[in-house]
Structure formats: C-alpha cells, structure tokens
Amino acid sequence: MVRGLLLVLGLPVVALAFATVEQLESSADALKAKGDAAGALAAYEEAAALEPKSAHLQDEIGFLLAVMNRREEAIEHFKRAIDLDPHFAPAQYHLGVSYWLAQDEARSIPYLQTAAALDPDNAAYRSKLGQALEASGQNQEAIPHLKAATVLQPADALSWNSLGLALQRTGDALAALDAYRQAVDLAPLNADFRNNYGLMLVHTRRADEGIVQFEKILAESPSNDTARFNIGFAHLQKSELDLAIAAFRQVIAHNANNAPAHYNLGVALKNKDDVDGAKVEFSRALEIDPSLFEAHYMIGIACWQSGDFDAAAEQMRAVIAQRPDYGAAYFILGTVLKQKGQLAAAEEPLRTAIRLRPDDPGPYNTLAQVLRQMGDLEGSKKMSAEGARVKQLGESKLGVMLGR
C-alpha cells in the first residue's frame, strides 16, 4: 500500500494558471513602460479577449497600434471603444488626434470637441482642440480652448504659442504678443516660438526689439534663414533699406529659390527707386512661385508709375485671375484704363473696387472722374459725395484711435 501511495504521490502535477484581466493589464503596463509596444499590445489583446466590452481596453489597443504606425487599425479600435462607451473621453480624443494626423480635419474636430466637452478640465484635450481649430482657420473658436489650456497647464509652451497665433489672426495684437512672450519664456530654445514673438514685436512697431529676438535665434543657429529673413523684414518696416537689402540677399545666397526673399528684396529695391532691379526680383519670385499674386501687383505698380499702362493692366488682370477678391488690383486696373482713355472699360473694375473696399475713398473719386468724362454728371456728383463721406468717416476713426 505504501508503495502504491508513493507511486500516486509521485505523479507529476500540472497547474493550469489563467491570468486575469487585471494581471494582463499590469503586465501590459510594465511592458509599455519598458518601450515594448508589441509585447504590451499582445497583453492588452489577450485582456480584451477576456473582456470584449471594455472601451478602455479597446482604446489602449488603438493607442499602441497608433504608436506602431498602424493608424488604420488604431482608428477601428478607437471607434469600437466609442461604440462601447460614447462617454469614454480618451477614445474620443485619440480618434480625433488620429484623424488630425491623417489631415482629415472635418472628421477630427468633432471628436476632439466631444472629448473636451466630456472632460473640460483636461488640459491636453482643450489644447489639442484649440490647436486644431486654429490650424483650420477657426481662430475665434480656438481662443477659449487655448486660454483654458494655459490656465489648466500654464507651463505648456505649445498652447501659449497656438493662442498667440489665434489672437494675432483675430486682430488682438497685444494679447498675441503676451502669449508669444509666455511661449518663449517657457521654451527659450524653440526658434519657431521666438520667430513668432519677434515678428509680433515688429508688427507692434517695436522692430528693434524684434531684431534682438531674431539675433538670439541666429546666435544659437546661424543657418536659420527664417530669422535672417525676419531681420530683413524688420529693417524694411523701419525703412532701413540698405540693411533690409543686405539681409534678403544673404537669405537668397543660402537659398536661391526663396520666393518671399526675392519678393521682399524687390520691395526694398523699389522703395530705393531701383525700379528695374525690383522688377527682376518680382519676376524671379513669380518664376519660383507663380501663386505669389503680390509680385504681379508690385510689377504692375512699377509699370504704372513708369507709364507702361498696357503692362500695368496686364499685371493687374493677372492678380485678379488669382485673387478675384483683391480690391486694390481692381482700383489700379480701373485707374490705368481711365488713363488710357478707355472710360467704359474702367467703370466696371472701379465699381468692383468700391464693392470690395467700401472704406477706401480712392475708387469713388476715380469713378466720379470717369463718369464726368462720360457725361454722367449726376452719377459723378453722387460718387464724389460718397468719396468725401468715406474719407471723412476714415479721418474720424483715425482721430478716435489717436485720442483726438
């Protein structure tokens, strides 16, 4: 009996150990912390097989797939998580970010908005939504989210910079300046943030301070042509034309295909009365970037001022072909046609200029002259009166701004 008992006791014992969801999650978290995305993914997938209705686990799987650049698969898991629990904010957020990275803003923003609505005190959600809205041109809508993000996480330089961009584009220059300053204080080595700050200093008539910021960038990165270009722009704003020309030529020496540098060099040369040199630079800018309608406009202005009305009209029509809403081009075209004696042809572009730029007295007065020469004295009188009214209104607004 003893021997039989020993034989029974000597049989090998096989223990079937089943990991729980909690154990699998703990293992996945540990693997994720070590940077083993594939191992963590396998553990989460095993956990999800045990708990298929967990939105959290589907979201974790999606996140790891996204990290592994398997975006389409990741999106399907984020969608599954949302189907399981529409109020699970992380999945809404991750799906929104995935679509944003895929440059699908139409589908991205609603998910980011839902995430922010579900968890309005999450700085990352508010910041990313604000960034997405700002990048898609919805600046006014972006501002409250970016402001909330900077309150929730004051040390987030990216939120401050995005807030600066949105404020700048809505015309709040001083608030934008402060936001950019905050971004630079938090991330002093970020050249993009410092360039934005410097440019806003230039735009708020503090060009010398702006140049200091650009020079700090060049001290850290001598090859940063954006900063060098901005130095040229600052000198141009100050009418320091020789310094502007030198800066733009340096940029072009590093990159001969920099269309904005050629264009701004042309502006500086034109302001120095080097019209021929300016035309060369404007033409070169257009060769590099045919969509740069401003170069057509400036060539047209140079031709108009030198009396080449046919070329001026051609350039203004090129501007209008690219930018049908550019009122200044219609005004110059109408003026040129008037000077060529083509009065009937001049009337339409001048009326379009008035429609697009109702606060500019110039087109009213020029159209009044055209109508008078065409014998429409009543129409001419009406246009003259409108021009006088618009001019007076503009002067009144300027007086208020200057505190008079």
Residue 317 domain flag: yes
SS (H, E, C) 9-50: HCCCCCCCCCCCHHHHHHHHHHHHHCCCHHHHHHHHHHHHHH
- Tell which of 67, 99, 119 closes a domain: 119
- Tell which of 61, 92, 119 closes a domain: 119
CA distance 372 to 188: 61
- Tell which of 119, 140, 160 closes a domain: 119
Which residues span the domain enclosing 81? 47-119
Q: Hey, CA dihedral for 236, 239, 240, 242, is it positive or negative?
A: positive
Residue 139 domain flag: no
Q: Tokens 């790891």 correspond to what residue?
A: 64
Q: What is the pLDDT of residue 15?
A: 37
pTM of the complete model: 0.81
Residue 330 domain flag: yes
Distance of CA 205 to the CA centre of its chain: 22
Q: How many CB atoms lie within 10 A of CB 139?
A: 22
Q: What is the pLDDT of residue 28?
A: 85
Angle at 163 between CA 117 and CA 105, to 5 degrees: 55
Give the chain's residues under pLDDT 70. Answer: 1-18, 396-404
Q: How many CB atoms lie within 10 A of CB 372?
A: 16
Residue 80 domain flag: yes
Enter the tokens of residue 247: 């800066």
- CATH code at position 112: 1.25.40.10
Q: Tokens 């697009």 correspond to what residue?
A: 356
Residue 379 domain flag: yes
Q: CA torsion angle for 20, 25, 27, 30 (degrees, to 10)?
A: -160
Q: Residue 359 in 3-state DSSP?
A: coil
Q: What is the pLDDT of residue 397?
A: 59
Residue 180 domain flag: no
Residue 90 domain flag: yes
Q: What is the pLDDT of residue 19?
A: 79
Residue 19 domain flag: no
How buried is residue 135: exposed, middle or buried, by Cβ count under 10 Å (0-12/13-18/19+)? middle
Query: Can you list the positions of beta strands (E) in 41-176?
Result: none
- The answer to whether 179 and 186 have CB atoms below 8 angstroms apart is no
- The answer to whether 41 and 65 have CB atoms below 8 angstroms apart is yes
Domain count, the chain: 2
SS (H, E, C) 187-221: CCCCHHHHHHHHHHHHHCCCHHHHHHHHHHHHHHC
Q: What is the pLDDT of residue 7?
A: 34
Q: What is the pLDDT of residue 18?
A: 60
What is the 8-class DSSP label of residue 395?
A: H
